[in-house]
Homo-oligomer: A and B are copies of this chain.
Amino acid sequence: MTETDPAVIFRIFNEIGIIEQLSRALLEARLPPPLIAAHFAVLSHLRKGRDGAVPIDMARAFQVPKTSMTHTLKGLERHGYVILQPNPRDGRSKTVWLTDKGRALEERIMVALAPEIAALMEGVEVEKLVSILPVLTDLRVYLDAARDAPQLPSG
């Protein structure tokens, strides 16, 4: 019988926005300047069995414009954390590879983050936290689909 107040939706997005900012700040405090979260996201992606990924695919995975990805990769490359190579399967594109330095950095950061994660898992109720993951995923999938479906679904 209870109608859900649309304001609840706004509050959810609000909390999500603030959590994003706080967690990003927390991560960036562990990164060697001038690296930021965008750089770490790439290193982490490549480490998760995706070494050799194509820039446009990473841009889509992170939901950022390809120009932003170009900029991020240029920064990582300049500091020797990744190298870009031609994509043998598509002359328009490239592939991105971790250097030893890049791999070492990613591992070092994960080690530095481990106690933070452990503390978090003591500070909040972990079961509840874990339980929201599928809901977040549903929400993300919905928003992703709604992105290019402007108003009415075609008939």
B4, B132, B143: the one contacting A136 at CB < 8 Å is B132
Evaluate whether A9 and B117 lie within 8 angstroms (CB atoms) in the complex, with A15-B140, A26-B143 already known.
yes
Of A19, A136, A140, most buried by chain B (CB within 10 Å of CB) is: A19
Is B138 within 8 A of A135, CB to CB? no
How many copies the complex holds: the figure is: 2
Contacts of A10 on B, CB cut-off 8 Å?
Answer: 117
Instruction: Place the interface of chain A in its size category.
Output: 35 or more
Instruction: Name A's interface SS.
Output: helix
Evaluate whether A143 and B16 lie within 8 angstroms (CB atoms) in the complex, with A4-B130, A6-B117, A131-B135 already known.
no
Contacts of A62 on B, CB cut-off 8 Å?
Answer: 18, 21
